Amino acid sequence: MSILLKDVHRAFGQNHVLRGLDLEVLDGETLSIIGFSGAGKSVILKHMVGLLRPDSGDVIVDGRNVSELDVGELNELRRDIGYVFQFAALFDSMNIAENVAMGLRRMPDMYDDEIMARVSECLALVDLEGTEDRYPSELSGGMVKRAGLARAIATKPKYLLYDEPTTGLDPVTVTVIDRLIVRMKEELGVTGVVITHDIASAYRISDRIVMLHEGRIRTSGTVDVIKESRDPLLRSFLEGRPELAERAS
């Protein structure tokens, strides 16, 4: 099943962030969202899990209209969605194993030793083996980030929403995370939405890339289409050249 946003508007006071956004994420694909800081990328992901609701328009995930779900139904939906928050969002009072196990604890029929085995497996996938007993404050920023990723994949969700999963990581770790995102898709059939400022990484992991600008999708396409696009605003973004954006309307 896919994710569909139809004519979504969302403002915060006078700040009209999403302005009639139409976006579809196809079943089994990895879609990357790029766009300038403050464009509303994180706001889009929060709509997909019902952390934010649209002022108007529809957000449909797995055939369910997220705005119409009650608390119970929303929790059920969230079991199918792994969310890697932009700022990790681990609980400081809990050790890494407990943080990663959070979603697993809510699953019926999972015994403690199974949970701990899965936690260790997920930590190994993000190169964090042996950190189970440590606390978030004892890890580096990049390690915390990867622990957030381990938590998101632990329940083997159908959807994975990654908000800047590689920002602030060293180049080798970026490659490890990129490969993990591709594996999630290829081995588990996960439908992925990735927000990233890392263009090289977006090219490696994406089936499609969309650029968000002024509350709507400005350009979208496969990696090849995006690479070849002559949209000056997109080029300005891809090449880090502000002067090109000035020529765009």
Ligand X SMILES: Nc1ncnc2c1ncn2[C@@H]1O[C@H](COP(=O)(O)OP(=O)(O)OP(=O)(O)O)[C@@H](O)[C@H]1O
Residues that bind ligand X (CB under 6 A): 12, 15, 17, 35, 37-43, 86
Q: How far is the CB of 43 from ligand X (least distance, A)?
A: 4
Q: How far is the CB of 113 from ligand X (least distance, A)?
A: 39
Sign, CA torsion 42/25/16/66: negative
For residue 140, give both structure tokens.
């580096």
Q: Which of 157, 159, 150 is nearest to 48 (CA)?
A: 159
The DSSP output letter for 140 is -
Q: 32, 194 in Cβ contact below 8 A?
A: yes
Closer residue to ligand X in complex, CB, 35/157:
35
The number of residues that bind Mg ion (CB under 5 A) is: 2
Q: Where does residue 67 rank: exposed (0-12), middle (13-18), buried (19+ CB within 10 A)?
A: middle
Per-residue contact string for residues 56-95; x = within reach of Mg ion by CB under 5 A: ------------------------------x---------
| Amino acid type, 143 | M
Closer residue to Mg ion in complex, CB, 30/42:
42
128 makes contact, choosing from ligand X, Mg ion, none, with CB < 5 to 8 Å by partner type, with none
Q: Which of 196, 203, 193 is nearest to 224 (CA)?
A: 203
Q: How far is the CB of 38 from ligand X (least distance, A)?
A: 4
Choice from 10, 18, 34, 42 touching Mg ion (CB under 5 A): 42
37 makes contact, choosing from ligand X, Mg ion, none, with CB < 5 to 8 Å by partner type, with ligand X
Closer residue to ligand X in complex, CB, 41/118:
41
Q: Which window, 42-50, 87-95, 103-111, 215-223, contacts Mg ion (CB under 5 A)?
A: 42-50
- 166 near Mg ion, judged by CB under 5 A: no
For residue 203, give both structure tokens.
């090219």
How long, in residues, is the chain?
A: 249
Q: Which of 249, 247, 205, 244 is nearest to 34 (CA)?
A: 205
Binding-site ranges for Mg ion (CB under 5 A): 42, 86
